[in-house]
Amino acid sequence: MAERTYLEALRDGLREEMARDENVFILGEDVGAYGGAFKVTDGFVQEFGAERVIDTPISETAIVGAAAGAAHMGFRPVAEMQFIDFIACAYDILTNYVATARYRAGLATPIVVRGPSGGYVRGGPFHSQNPEAAFFHTPGLKLVCPATARDAKGLIKAAVRDDDPVIYFEHKYLYRRIKEDLPEGEDLLTPIGKARVAREGTDLTVVTWSAMVWKVLEAAEQLEQADGASLEVIDLRTLVPMDEETMFASVRKTNRALIVHEDTRTGGVAGEITARLNERVFEWLDAPIKRVTAHDTPLPYAPTLEDFVLPQTSDVVSAARWLLAY
């Protein structure tokens, strides 16, 4: 076992996949000589050479498009968005082309597009977003959002091996803040489309993912200590395909559901989860399904503003108490 941060685990996973399969290569802005803006690919160009760790012009459409073209030819490219906010520049080619190539004309496009997402780091409006909902809506793209170091590694390895395009949202708040002992020399894979029960409980199901998992676990601990309440925390890990059965089974047990995400409320993934719970486990519910999300604003810079807009542990505690008392 070796203690690895979330970022190191992601790096290990990428490096292992590049060593395992010569068809895996990396392209993006500053990924080579500099090792990436957050150093995810630090040392890769020395280890694998500039042909497999390709520095590109600032051209997100070209990065994703070239990855797609190479993927059609049997490569498994991993494209880095320097910040996931900039994936919006490649929205057209991802949604119109990459997502549809298999369906429209039988062309496999096994690419991974990954990048640092999320707030709580005072990154300001252009460097803090969670653009998951924009892609959640498009059939043909898989979306993964690891919360733990183990899953940061397991999901990047699974994403590289997946035959479909995968967008990998890595949370920059977690990069160096969380650590975990991970087995060495073991092929650690997290299945795409399988949720994890992060904490077992009986009174309320909280469905969440990415950095919010940690805030929800913190809230669950506080509620157990203060109120004796038992929260079950589901870490979805993958948004598409979504592990509905794990959520449904939990809600059938607890009869209450709260969905917590860092993205803004309107059109957010929580709305879709609410609808699916309503359609499938309505009879088991003893309370309305509720959401805790960011407020519907761009994400401001000042710490006081950012902390107000983003969901906090205390918000989860309040919402959970409201539901438990219903």
Partner 1 sequence: MTSKAGLASATPVPAGLDQAQLRDLYYFLRLTRALEERLVNLYRQGKIVGGLYRSLGQEGESVASAYALEDGDILSPLIRNLGSMLVRGARPIEILRQYMAKATSPTSGREMNIHFNDLRLGYLGQISPLGDMVPVMAGIALSFKMRREPRVGLVYVGDGATSTGAFHEGANFAAVHRLPLVMIVENNGYAYSTPTSQQAATPRLAAKGKAYGIRALTVDGNDVFAVYRGAKDAVERARVGDGPTLLEVITYRRKGHAEHDDQRYQPDDEIRKWEKADPLDRFVERVQRGGWIPSQELGDIDARVTQELDAAVTECENDPVPVGDTALPHVFAEPAAAERLWFRQIDG
CB of 137 to partner 1, least distance (A): 13
CB of 67 to partner 1, least distance (A): 6
CB of 60 to partner 1, least distance (A): 8
Query: Where in 62-81 is the site for partner 1 (CB under 8 A)?
Result: 62, 64-75, 77
Give the residue with the Cβ less far from partner 1, 164 or 262: 164
Give the residue with the Cβ less far from partner 1, 161 or 321: 161
Tokens of 110: 């096994």
CB 231 within 8 A of CB 199: yes
Query: Where in 152-211 is the site for partner 1 (CB under 8 A)?
Result: 162-164, 193
CB of 231 to partner 1, least distance (A): 30
DSSP state at residue 93: I
* Binding string, residues 209-238; x marks residues near partner 1 by CB under 8 A: ------------------------------
CB 160 within 8 A of CB 12: no
Query: Where in 86-115 is the site for partner 1 (CB under 8 A)?
Result: 92-93, 96-97, 102-108
Query: Where in 272-311 is the site for partner 1 (CB under 8 A)?
Result: 279
Classified as helix, coil or strand, 306 is helix
Going by their DSSP bridges, the two strands 238-240 and 231-235 should be labelled as unpaired
Give the residue with the Cβ less far from partner 1, 90 or 319: 90
- Let me know how long the chain is: 326
Give the residue with the Cβ less far from partner 1, 71 or 182: 71
What does the alpha-carbon distance between residue 24 and residue 15 come to, in Å, rounded to a whole number? 10
Going by their DSSP bridges, the two strands 2-5 and 179-182 should be labelled as antiparallel
Count CA within 13 A, CB hemisphere, residue 102.
Answer: 13
DSSP-H helix ranges across the chain: 6-20, 44-48, 60-72, 91-92, 101-105, 132-136, 149-161, 212-227, 244-254, 269-281, 303-309, 313-324
Residue 25 makes contact with partner 1 by CB under 8 A: yes
DSSP state at residue 106: -
Give the residue with the Cβ less far from partner 1, 127 or 142: 142
Residues labelled catalytic: 127
Other C-beta atoms closer than 10 Å to the C-beta of 251 total 23
* Binding string, residues 120-149; x marks residues near partner 1 by CB under 8 A: -------------------xx-x-------
Summarize as ranges the residues that interact with partner 1 (CB under 8 A): 25, 51, 54, 56-57, 59-62, 64-75, 77, 92-93, 96-97, 102-108, 139-140, 142, 162-164, 193, 241, 279
